[in-house]
Structure 1
Amino acid sequence: MKSLTKQLKAKQQANETIFVPYIMAGAQGLDQLADEIQLLTDAGASAIELGIPFSDPVADGPVIQAAGLRALENKVTLRKIIQQLKQIKTPTPLVLMTYFNPVFSYGLETFIQELAETNVLGLIIPDLPYEHQKLLTPLLKESDISLIPLIALTTPKERISELAAAGDGFIYAVAVNGVTGVGRNYQEIVDEHLAYIQKVSDKPVLAGFGVSTKEHVERFRKSCAGVIVGSKIVQLLSEGKQGEVKAFIQEAIKNEV
Protein backbone atom coordinates (compact mmCIF):
# COMPACT_ATOMS: atom_id res chain seq x y z
CA MET A 1 0.00 0.00 0.00
CA LYS A 2 1.37 3.41 -0.98
CA SER A 3 2.03 6.10 1.63
CA LEU A 4 -0.81 8.42 0.61
CA THR A 5 -3.38 5.61 0.83
CA LYS A 6 -1.96 4.50 4.17
CA GLN A 7 -2.00 7.98 5.73
CA LEU A 8 -5.53 8.82 4.59
CA LYS A 9 -6.93 5.40 5.50
CA ALA A 10 -5.54 5.87 9.02
CA LYS A 11 -7.49 9.13 9.31
CA GLN A 12 -10.61 7.48 7.92
CA GLN A 13 -10.35 4.60 10.39
CA ALA A 14 -9.92 7.10 13.24
CA ASN A 15 -13.12 8.79 11.98
CA GLU A 16 -11.29 12.04 11.31
CA THR A 17 -12.60 14.30 8.54
CA ILE A 18 -10.18 14.15 5.62
CA PHE A 19 -9.77 17.69 4.29
CA VAL A 20 -7.70 18.35 1.17
CA PRO A 21 -7.37 22.04 0.25
CA TYR A 22 -6.45 22.95 -3.31
CA ILE A 23 -4.19 25.86 -4.22
CA MET A 24 -2.86 27.04 -7.57
CA ALA A 25 0.93 26.83 -7.39
CA GLY A 26 2.46 30.20 -8.18
CA ALA A 27 -0.76 32.25 -8.26
CA GLN A 28 0.73 34.56 -5.63
CA GLY A 29 4.26 33.92 -6.89
CA LEU A 30 6.33 30.76 -6.44
CA ASP A 31 8.21 32.38 -3.56
CA GLN A 32 4.94 32.16 -1.57
CA LEU A 33 4.43 28.43 -2.13
CA ALA A 34 6.34 27.23 0.95
CA ASP A 35 4.40 29.64 3.19
CA GLU A 36 1.08 28.55 1.69
CA ILE A 37 1.90 24.88 2.26
CA GLN A 38 2.92 25.69 5.85
CA LEU A 39 -0.32 27.62 6.43
CA LEU A 40 -2.45 24.70 5.21
CA THR A 41 -0.38 22.22 7.24
CA ASP A 42 -0.82 24.32 10.40
CA ALA A 43 -4.56 24.50 9.72
CA GLY A 44 -4.81 20.69 9.76
CA ALA A 45 -4.92 19.74 6.06
CA SER A 46 -4.81 15.97 5.53
CA ALA A 47 -3.05 16.46 2.18
CA ILE A 48 -2.61 19.47 -0.12
CA GLU A 49 -3.58 19.51 -3.79
CA LEU A 50 -1.36 21.74 -5.90
CA GLY A 51 -2.73 22.92 -9.22
CA ILE A 52 -0.33 23.29 -12.14
CA PRO A 53 -1.16 26.32 -14.32
CA PHE A 54 -2.24 25.36 -17.83
CA SER A 55 -3.50 27.40 -20.78
CA ASP A 56 -6.61 25.23 -21.38
CA PRO A 57 -7.91 24.14 -17.96
CA VAL A 58 -11.10 22.34 -19.01
CA ALA A 59 -12.05 21.12 -15.51
CA ASP A 60 -11.54 24.44 -13.70
CA GLY A 61 -14.11 27.05 -12.78
CA PRO A 62 -13.55 30.83 -13.08
CA VAL A 63 -11.77 31.37 -9.74
CA ILE A 64 -9.19 28.66 -10.39
CA GLN A 65 -8.84 29.65 -14.06
CA ALA A 66 -8.05 33.22 -12.95
CA ALA A 67 -5.46 31.92 -10.46
CA GLY A 68 -3.90 29.81 -13.22
CA LEU A 69 -3.66 32.84 -15.49
CA ARG A 70 -1.94 34.82 -12.71
CA ALA A 71 0.55 31.98 -12.30
CA LEU A 72 1.20 31.87 -16.06
CA GLU A 73 1.73 35.64 -16.05
CA ASN A 74 4.27 35.04 -13.25
CA LYS A 75 6.08 32.69 -15.70
CA VAL A 76 5.32 29.69 -13.50
CA THR A 77 5.91 26.31 -15.17
CA LEU A 78 5.70 22.69 -14.08
CA ARG A 79 9.51 22.52 -14.13
CA LYS A 80 9.86 25.54 -11.86
CA ILE A 81 7.22 24.17 -9.48
CA ILE A 82 9.01 20.82 -9.15
CA GLN A 83 12.35 22.57 -8.54
CA GLN A 84 10.66 24.62 -5.81
CA LEU A 85 9.03 21.54 -4.26
CA LYS A 86 12.44 19.86 -3.99
CA GLN A 87 13.37 22.63 -1.52
CA ILE A 88 10.16 22.43 0.55
CA LYS A 89 10.08 20.05 3.50
CA THR A 90 6.60 19.30 4.82
CA PRO A 91 4.97 16.42 6.75
CA THR A 92 1.80 16.90 4.68
CA PRO A 93 1.43 14.75 1.55
CA LEU A 94 1.25 16.79 -1.64
CA VAL A 95 -0.91 15.90 -4.64
CA LEU A 96 -0.30 17.47 -8.06
CA MET A 97 -3.34 18.27 -10.18
CA THR A 98 -2.13 18.71 -13.73
CA TYR A 99 -3.30 18.19 -17.27
CA PHE A 100 -1.46 15.61 -19.32
CA ASN A 101 0.16 17.95 -21.84
CA PRO A 102 2.67 19.56 -19.40
CA VAL A 103 3.62 16.09 -18.10
CA PHE A 104 4.11 14.71 -21.61
CA SER A 105 6.20 17.75 -22.57
CA TYR A 106 8.30 17.30 -19.43
CA GLY A 107 9.06 13.67 -20.31
CA LEU A 108 7.09 11.01 -18.43
CA GLU A 109 10.08 9.16 -16.97
CA THR A 110 11.91 12.34 -15.96
CA PHE A 111 8.71 13.72 -14.41
CA ILE A 112 8.22 10.69 -12.15
CA GLN A 113 11.92 10.51 -11.25
CA GLU A 114 12.01 14.17 -10.23
CA LEU A 115 8.78 13.92 -8.23
CA ALA A 116 10.49 11.24 -6.15
CA GLU A 117 12.76 14.02 -4.82
CA THR A 118 9.72 15.94 -3.49
CA ASN A 119 6.89 15.24 -1.04
CA VAL A 120 4.43 14.67 -3.90
CA LEU A 121 2.65 11.39 -3.16
CA GLY A 122 -0.30 11.71 -5.54
CA LEU A 123 -1.21 12.71 -9.09
CA ILE A 124 -4.57 13.83 -10.49
CA ILE A 125 -4.70 14.13 -14.29
CA PRO A 126 -8.32 14.87 -15.27
CA ASP A 127 -7.77 14.63 -19.04
CA LEU A 128 -5.96 11.27 -18.94
CA PRO A 129 -8.66 8.64 -19.61
CA TYR A 130 -8.52 5.36 -17.72
CA GLU A 131 -7.86 3.53 -21.00
CA HIS A 132 -4.66 5.56 -21.53
CA GLN A 133 -3.28 5.38 -17.99
CA LYS A 134 -0.81 2.70 -19.06
CA LEU A 135 1.30 5.56 -20.36
CA LEU A 136 2.08 6.29 -16.70
CA THR A 137 1.23 3.28 -14.53
CA PRO A 138 4.37 1.23 -15.37
CA LEU A 139 6.51 4.21 -14.27
CA LEU A 140 4.52 4.60 -11.05
CA LYS A 141 4.72 0.93 -10.13
CA GLU A 142 8.08 1.19 -8.38
CA SER A 143 7.38 4.68 -6.97
CA ASP A 144 5.41 5.83 -3.93
CA ILE A 145 3.19 8.06 -6.08
CA SER A 146 -0.53 7.28 -6.34
CA LEU A 147 -2.54 7.93 -9.50
CA ILE A 148 -5.86 9.20 -8.16
CA PRO A 149 -9.03 8.45 -10.15
CA LEU A 150 -11.89 10.90 -10.72
CA ILE A 151 -15.37 9.42 -10.70
CA ALA A 152 -18.23 11.54 -12.07
CA LEU A 153 -21.92 11.52 -11.18
CA THR A 154 -22.62 10.08 -14.63
CA THR A 155 -20.16 7.17 -14.30
CA PRO A 156 -21.96 3.79 -14.65
CA LYS A 157 -21.78 1.51 -11.61
CA GLU A 158 -19.75 -1.22 -13.32
CA ARG A 159 -17.16 1.37 -14.36
CA ILE A 160 -17.08 2.86 -10.84
CA SER A 161 -15.90 -0.50 -9.49
CA GLU A 162 -13.23 -0.69 -12.21
CA LEU A 163 -11.93 2.84 -11.58
CA ALA A 164 -11.98 2.42 -7.80
CA ALA A 165 -10.01 -0.84 -7.99
CA ALA A 166 -7.38 0.61 -10.33
CA GLY A 167 -6.88 3.92 -8.51
CA ASP A 168 -4.73 4.64 -5.51
CA GLY A 169 -4.39 7.23 -2.76
CA PHE A 170 -8.05 8.23 -2.60
CA ILE A 171 -11.07 8.40 -4.88
CA TYR A 172 -11.92 11.90 -6.13
CA ALA A 173 -15.70 11.86 -6.40
CA VAL A 174 -16.97 14.74 -8.54
CA ALA A 175 -20.07 15.99 -6.72
CA VAL A 176 -21.53 18.05 -9.59
CA ASN A 177 -21.80 17.82 -13.34
CA GLY A 178 -19.58 20.57 -14.71
CA VAL A 179 -16.54 22.53 -13.58
CA THR A 180 -15.25 23.51 -10.15
CA GLY A 181 -16.68 26.50 -8.30
CA VAL A 182 -18.66 27.68 -5.30
CA GLY A 183 -22.37 28.32 -4.91
CA ARG A 184 -23.78 25.17 -6.50
CA ASN A 185 -26.92 23.30 -5.46
CA TYR A 186 -26.11 19.64 -4.98
CA GLN A 187 -28.43 17.08 -6.46
CA GLU A 188 -29.99 14.62 -4.04
CA ILE A 189 -28.46 11.78 -6.04
CA VAL A 190 -25.00 12.83 -4.84
CA ASP A 191 -25.29 11.23 -1.40
CA GLU A 192 -26.33 7.90 -2.90
CA HIS A 193 -23.52 8.18 -5.47
CA LEU A 194 -20.87 8.84 -2.79
CA ALA A 195 -22.12 6.07 -0.52
CA TYR A 196 -22.00 3.58 -3.40
CA ILE A 197 -18.41 4.52 -4.32
CA GLN A 198 -17.35 4.22 -0.66
CA LYS A 199 -19.06 0.81 -0.50
CA VAL A 200 -17.10 -0.61 -3.48
CA SER A 201 -13.80 1.15 -2.72
CA ASP A 202 -11.14 0.18 -0.19
CA LYS A 203 -9.69 3.71 -0.41
CA PRO A 204 -11.13 6.87 1.17
CA VAL A 205 -13.68 8.65 -1.02
CA LEU A 206 -13.49 12.47 -1.07
CA ALA A 207 -16.14 14.76 -2.53
CA GLY A 208 -14.96 17.69 -4.62
CA PHE A 209 -16.12 20.45 -7.01
CA GLY A 210 -18.09 23.26 -5.36
CA VAL A 211 -17.49 22.36 -1.70
CA SER A 212 -17.28 25.76 -0.01
CA THR A 213 -18.99 25.75 3.41
CA LYS A 214 -18.82 23.90 6.72
CA GLU A 215 -22.37 22.70 5.97
CA HIS A 216 -21.16 21.10 2.72
CA VAL A 217 -18.41 19.32 4.64
CA GLU A 218 -20.85 18.06 7.29
CA ARG A 219 -23.25 16.85 4.61
CA PHE A 220 -20.64 14.91 2.67
CA ARG A 221 -19.15 13.38 5.81
CA LYS A 222 -22.38 11.40 6.17
CA SER A 223 -21.64 9.45 2.99
CA CYS A 224 -17.86 9.58 2.43
CA ALA A 225 -14.51 10.16 4.15
CA GLY A 226 -14.04 13.85 3.48
CA VAL A 227 -13.75 16.67 0.98
CA ILE A 228 -11.53 18.58 -1.42
CA VAL A 229 -11.97 22.36 -1.32
CA GLY A 230 -10.53 24.48 -4.12
CA SER A 231 -12.22 27.68 -5.27
CA LYS A 232 -13.00 28.86 -1.72
CA ILE A 233 -9.35 28.49 -0.62
CA VAL A 234 -7.96 29.97 -3.85
CA GLN A 235 -10.27 33.00 -3.58
CA LEU A 236 -9.35 33.71 0.06
CA LEU A 237 -5.63 33.42 -0.67
CA SER A 238 -5.93 35.75 -3.67
CA GLU A 239 -7.51 38.31 -1.31
CA GLY A 240 -4.70 37.89 1.23
CA LYS A 241 -7.06 36.34 3.82
CA GLN A 242 -4.73 33.65 5.17
CA GLY A 243 -6.36 33.86 8.62
CA GLU A 244 -9.77 33.06 7.15
CA VAL A 245 -8.30 30.08 5.29
CA LYS A 246 -6.91 28.65 8.52
CA ALA A 247 -10.12 29.31 10.48
CA PHE A 248 -12.28 27.73 7.76
CA ILE A 249 -10.23 24.52 7.65
CA GLN A 250 -10.01 24.21 11.43
CA GLU A 251 -13.76 24.69 11.77
CA ALA A 252 -14.54 22.28 8.93
CA ILE A 253 -12.50 19.39 10.34
CA LYS A 254 -13.96 19.58 13.82
CA ASN A 255 -15.90 16.41 14.54
CA GLU A 256 -18.96 17.51 16.46
CA VAL A 257 -20.06 14.99 19.10
Structure 2
Amino acid sequence: MDQIATAGLDNLGYILAALGACAWIPQVPTLWNKYISKPKISITAKSIELGFDLNGPLLNMNLALLSQNKSGTIGTIKAIITHEDKQETTFEWSTIASGVENKSTDNNGGTITNRSSVEALMLHLPLDFTQVISLWFFSNLKKARFDNIIFPFEYKIDRMCRDNQLDNEALEKYLKNNTEWTNVKDLIPEMFTWKAGKYKLTLLIEALDGKISYTPQTFKFKINTNSAEILKDNIETTLHNMNETLICKINPTYQKQNKAYYWQNFMLEKC
Protein backbone atom coordinates (compact mmCIF):
# COMPACT_ATOMS: atom_id res chain seq x y z
CA MET A 1 0.00 0.00 0.00
CA ASP A 2 2.80 2.39 0.89
CA GLN A 3 4.39 1.75 -2.51
CA ILE A 4 1.10 2.41 -4.29
CA ALA A 5 0.59 5.64 -2.32
CA THR A 6 4.12 6.77 -3.07
CA ALA A 7 3.66 6.06 -6.77
CA GLY A 8 0.39 8.00 -6.73
CA LEU A 9 2.05 10.97 -5.11
CA ASP A 10 4.87 10.86 -7.67
CA ASN A 11 2.36 10.82 -10.53
CA LEU A 12 0.50 13.71 -8.96
CA GLY A 13 3.78 15.60 -8.69
CA TYR A 14 4.49 15.00 -12.37
CA ILE A 15 0.99 16.18 -13.31
CA LEU A 16 1.29 19.33 -11.22
CA ALA A 17 4.74 20.04 -12.67
CA ALA A 18 3.39 19.57 -16.19
CA LEU A 19 0.45 21.87 -15.46
CA GLY A 20 2.86 24.44 -14.06
CA ALA A 21 5.03 24.25 -17.15
CA CYS A 22 1.97 24.60 -19.38
CA ALA A 23 0.98 27.72 -17.48
CA TRP A 24 4.23 29.34 -18.67
CA ILE A 25 3.63 28.56 -22.35
CA PRO A 26 1.40 31.61 -23.04
CA GLN A 27 4.06 33.81 -21.42
CA VAL A 28 6.88 32.61 -23.68
CA PRO A 29 6.14 34.96 -26.62
CA THR A 30 5.80 37.91 -24.24
CA LEU A 31 9.08 37.12 -22.49
CA TRP A 32 10.79 36.55 -25.83
CA ASN A 33 9.69 39.94 -27.16
CA LYS A 34 10.58 41.72 -23.95
CA TYR A 35 14.00 40.28 -23.20
CA ILE A 36 15.40 38.54 -26.29
CA SER A 37 13.96 39.85 -29.56
CA LYS A 38 15.13 43.06 -31.22
CA PRO A 39 13.00 45.91 -32.53
CA LYS A 40 12.28 45.29 -36.21
CA ILE A 41 12.48 48.66 -37.98
CA SER A 42 10.89 49.33 -41.36
CA ILE A 43 11.09 52.59 -43.29
CA THR A 44 9.13 54.07 -46.20
CA ALA A 45 9.85 57.10 -48.39
CA LYS A 46 8.20 58.44 -51.54
CA SER A 47 10.28 61.46 -52.55
CA ILE A 48 13.50 63.33 -51.89
CA GLU A 49 14.26 67.06 -51.98
CA LEU A 50 17.76 68.16 -52.98
CA GLY A 51 19.47 71.49 -52.40
CA PHE A 52 22.80 73.24 -51.90
CA ASP A 53 24.12 76.09 -49.74
CA LEU A 54 27.17 77.02 -47.64
CA ASN A 55 26.85 73.64 -45.89
CA GLY A 56 27.37 71.84 -49.19
CA PRO A 57 24.88 69.44 -50.83
CA LEU A 58 21.71 68.97 -48.80
CA LEU A 59 18.73 66.66 -48.82
CA ASN A 60 15.37 66.59 -47.10
CA MET A 61 13.13 63.55 -46.79
CA ASN A 62 9.76 62.72 -45.31
CA LEU A 63 10.04 59.25 -43.77
CA ALA A 64 7.55 56.86 -42.23
CA LEU A 65 9.15 54.59 -39.62
CA LEU A 66 7.64 51.61 -37.81
CA SER A 67 9.04 49.50 -34.96
CA GLN A 68 7.67 45.98 -34.51
CA ASN A 69 8.29 43.32 -31.80
CA LYS A 70 9.17 46.08 -29.30
CA SER A 71 9.85 49.80 -29.19
CA GLY A 72 13.23 51.03 -30.41
CA THR A 73 15.46 54.10 -30.25
CA ILE A 74 17.36 55.26 -33.32
CA GLY A 75 20.77 56.86 -32.80
CA THR A 76 21.51 57.94 -36.37
CA ILE A 77 20.19 57.70 -39.92
CA LYS A 78 22.52 57.93 -42.89
CA ALA A 79 21.76 58.30 -46.58
CA ILE A 80 24.31 57.12 -49.14
CA ILE A 81 23.70 58.57 -52.60
CA THR A 82 25.57 57.07 -55.56
CA HIS A 83 25.57 58.52 -59.08
CA GLU A 84 25.64 56.17 -62.06
CA ASP A 85 29.32 57.14 -62.58
CA LYS A 86 30.03 55.65 -59.09
CA GLN A 87 30.52 59.02 -57.35
CA GLU A 88 29.29 58.46 -53.79
CA THR A 89 28.28 60.98 -51.12
CA THR A 90 27.33 60.08 -47.56
CA PHE A 91 24.78 62.19 -45.71
CA GLU A 92 23.96 62.05 -42.00
CA TRP A 93 20.79 63.32 -40.36
CA SER A 94 21.17 66.76 -38.88
CA THR A 95 17.73 67.99 -37.87
CA ILE A 96 14.25 66.63 -37.34
CA ALA A 97 11.87 69.13 -38.87
CA SER A 98 8.28 69.93 -38.11
CA GLY A 99 5.71 68.72 -40.60
CA VAL A 100 4.30 72.25 -40.76
CA GLU A 101 5.80 74.38 -43.55
CA ASN A 102 5.54 78.09 -44.19
CA LYS A 103 6.28 78.81 -47.85
CA SER A 104 6.62 82.19 -49.55
CA THR A 105 7.98 83.56 -52.82
CA ASP A 106 10.84 86.02 -53.16
CA ASN A 107 11.07 88.88 -55.69
CA ASN A 108 12.83 86.62 -58.18
CA GLY A 109 10.16 83.94 -58.05
CA GLY A 110 12.14 81.57 -55.85
CA THR A 111 10.42 79.56 -53.13
CA ILE A 112 11.37 80.25 -49.52
CA THR A 113 10.50 77.38 -47.17
CA ASN A 114 10.54 77.82 -43.40
CA ARG A 115 10.18 74.90 -40.99
CA SER A 116 10.75 74.70 -37.26
CA SER A 117 13.31 72.04 -36.43
CA VAL A 118 15.41 70.48 -33.67
CA GLU A 119 18.83 68.86 -33.73
CA ALA A 120 18.71 65.15 -34.53
CA LEU A 121 20.15 63.41 -31.48
CA MET A 122 17.93 60.33 -31.26
CA LEU A 123 14.45 59.20 -32.23
CA HIS A 124 12.24 56.92 -30.14
CA LEU A 125 9.82 54.68 -32.01
CA PRO A 126 6.91 53.31 -29.94
CA LEU A 127 5.81 49.75 -30.59
CA ASP A 128 3.54 49.31 -33.65
CA PHE A 129 3.10 53.05 -34.17
CA THR A 130 3.98 54.55 -37.56
CA GLN A 131 5.92 57.76 -37.00
CA VAL A 132 6.13 60.23 -39.90
CA ILE A 133 8.97 62.74 -39.71
CA SER A 134 10.80 65.19 -41.95
CA LEU A 135 14.60 64.85 -41.81
CA TRP A 136 17.32 67.19 -43.05
CA PHE A 137 20.65 65.65 -43.99
CA PHE A 138 24.09 67.28 -44.31
CA SER A 139 26.82 65.67 -46.37
CA ASN A 140 30.03 64.35 -44.83
CA LEU A 141 31.86 67.12 -46.72
CA LYS A 142 30.55 69.77 -44.35
CA LYS A 143 32.58 69.49 -41.18
CA ALA A 144 36.08 68.98 -42.62
CA ARG A 145 35.70 71.68 -45.27
CA PHE A 146 33.97 74.12 -42.93
CA ASP A 147 36.46 73.65 -40.11
CA ASN A 148 39.53 73.91 -42.33
CA ILE A 149 38.57 76.73 -44.70
CA ILE A 150 35.33 78.60 -44.03
CA PHE A 151 35.43 78.86 -40.23
CA PRO A 152 38.98 80.35 -40.01
CA PHE A 153 38.03 82.97 -42.62
CA GLU A 154 34.81 83.93 -40.81
CA TYR A 155 36.64 84.05 -37.48
CA LYS A 156 39.25 86.46 -38.87
CA ILE A 157 36.57 88.73 -40.35
CA ASP A 158 34.66 88.76 -37.04
CA ARG A 159 37.84 89.65 -35.14
CA MET A 160 38.66 92.49 -37.53
CA CYS A 161 35.12 93.84 -37.20
CA ARG A 162 35.37 93.78 -33.41
CA ASP A 163 38.63 95.72 -33.62
CA ASN A 164 37.06 98.25 -36.04
CA GLN A 165 39.62 97.44 -38.74
CA LEU A 166 37.10 97.17 -41.56
CA ASP A 167 34.71 99.45 -43.38
CA ASN A 168 33.09 98.92 -46.78
CA GLU A 169 36.12 100.15 -48.72
CA ALA A 170 38.59 98.26 -46.53
CA LEU A 171 36.54 95.06 -46.83
CA GLU A 172 36.46 95.28 -50.61
CA LYS A 173 40.22 95.80 -50.73
CA TYR A 174 40.83 93.03 -48.19
CA LEU A 175 38.74 90.48 -50.09
CA LYS A 176 40.34 91.37 -53.41
CA ASN A 177 43.81 90.39 -52.22
CA ASN A 178 42.93 87.77 -49.61
CA THR A 179 43.94 84.16 -50.24
CA GLU A 180 41.51 82.79 -47.65
CA TRP A 181 38.55 84.43 -49.41
CA THR A 182 39.80 82.99 -52.69
CA ASN A 183 39.92 79.56 -51.06
CA VAL A 184 36.32 79.98 -49.86
CA LYS A 185 35.15 80.98 -53.34
CA ASP A 186 36.98 78.00 -54.85
CA LEU A 187 35.65 75.60 -52.21
CA ILE A 188 31.95 76.27 -52.71
CA PRO A 189 31.74 75.03 -56.33
CA GLU A 190 34.01 72.10 -55.40
CA MET A 191 31.45 71.01 -52.79
CA PHE A 192 28.65 70.93 -55.36
CA THR A 193 27.92 67.30 -56.32
CA TRP A 194 24.51 67.25 -58.04
CA LYS A 195 24.55 66.49 -61.75
CA ALA A 196 22.24 64.98 -64.33
CA GLY A 197 21.93 61.21 -64.30
CA LYS A 198 20.61 58.20 -62.43
CA TYR A 199 21.12 57.87 -58.67
CA LYS A 200 20.80 55.16 -56.05
CA LEU A 201 19.84 56.05 -52.46
CA THR A 202 20.52 53.68 -49.56
CA LEU A 203 19.15 54.43 -46.08
CA LEU A 204 21.12 53.08 -43.12
CA ILE A 205 19.85 53.08 -39.53
CA GLU A 206 21.81 52.55 -36.32
CA ALA A 207 20.16 52.01 -32.94
CA LEU A 208 21.19 54.01 -29.92
CA ASP A 209 22.03 50.76 -28.09
CA GLY A 210 23.03 48.81 -31.20
CA LYS A 211 20.08 46.42 -30.88
CA ILE A 212 17.72 46.56 -33.84
CA SER A 213 16.76 44.39 -36.78
CA TYR A 214 16.84 46.45 -39.98
CA THR A 215 17.39 45.67 -43.65
CA PRO A 216 18.85 48.69 -45.50
CA GLN A 217 16.31 50.19 -47.90
CA THR A 218 17.45 51.16 -51.41
CA PHE A 219 15.71 53.54 -53.81
CA LYS A 220 16.48 55.08 -57.18
CA PHE A 221 15.76 58.45 -58.76
CA LYS A 222 16.89 60.54 -61.70
CA ILE A 223 18.04 64.16 -62.05
CA ASN A 224 17.37 65.63 -65.47
CA THR A 225 19.53 68.32 -67.08
CA ASN A 226 17.13 71.16 -66.26
CA SER A 227 16.95 70.27 -62.56
CA ALA A 228 20.73 69.92 -62.40
CA GLU A 229 21.15 73.46 -63.81
CA ILE A 230 18.62 74.88 -61.33
CA LEU A 231 20.49 73.28 -58.44
CA LYS A 232 23.79 74.59 -59.81
CA ASP A 233 22.44 78.16 -59.61
CA ASN A 234 22.75 77.78 -55.83
CA ILE A 235 26.53 78.11 -56.14
CA GLU A 236 26.22 81.74 -57.21
CA THR A 237 23.47 82.28 -54.62
CA THR A 238 25.74 80.93 -51.87
CA LEU A 239 28.59 83.29 -52.83
CA HIS A 240 26.21 86.25 -53.10
CA ASN A 241 24.59 85.59 -49.70
CA MET A 242 27.96 85.13 -48.02
CA ASN A 243 29.13 88.46 -49.42
CA GLU A 244 25.95 90.08 -48.10
CA THR A 245 26.66 88.59 -44.67
CA LEU A 246 30.19 90.03 -44.70
CA ILE A 247 28.87 93.52 -45.50
CA CYS A 248 26.34 93.20 -42.69
CA LYS A 249 29.09 92.29 -40.24
CA ILE A 250 30.86 95.62 -40.74
CA ASN A 251 27.65 97.60 -41.13
CA PRO A 252 24.91 96.21 -38.85
CA THR A 253 22.33 98.65 -40.24
CA TYR A 254 22.81 97.30 -43.77
CA GLN A 255 19.72 95.55 -45.15
CA LYS A 256 20.88 92.25 -46.57
CA GLN A 257 19.70 91.45 -50.09
CA ASN A 258 19.82 87.68 -49.81
CA LYS A 259 18.75 85.50 -52.70
CA ALA A 260 16.55 82.43 -52.20
CA TYR A 261 18.00 78.97 -52.61
CA TYR A 262 16.38 76.62 -55.09
CA TRP A 263 15.33 73.09 -54.18
CA GLN A 264 14.32 70.28 -56.51
CA ASN A 265 12.00 67.40 -55.65
CA PHE A 266 12.32 63.89 -57.09
CA MET A 267 10.12 60.82 -56.79
CA LEU A 268 11.73 57.70 -55.37
CA GLU A 269 11.32 54.22 -56.77
CA LYS A 270 12.15 51.25 -54.56
CA CYS A 271 14.88 49.00 -55.92
Q: TM-score range by the shorter chain?
A: under 0.3
TM-score by length of 2: 0.24
Tell which structure's C-alpha radius of gyration is larger. Answer: 2
Structure richer in strand, relative to its length: 2
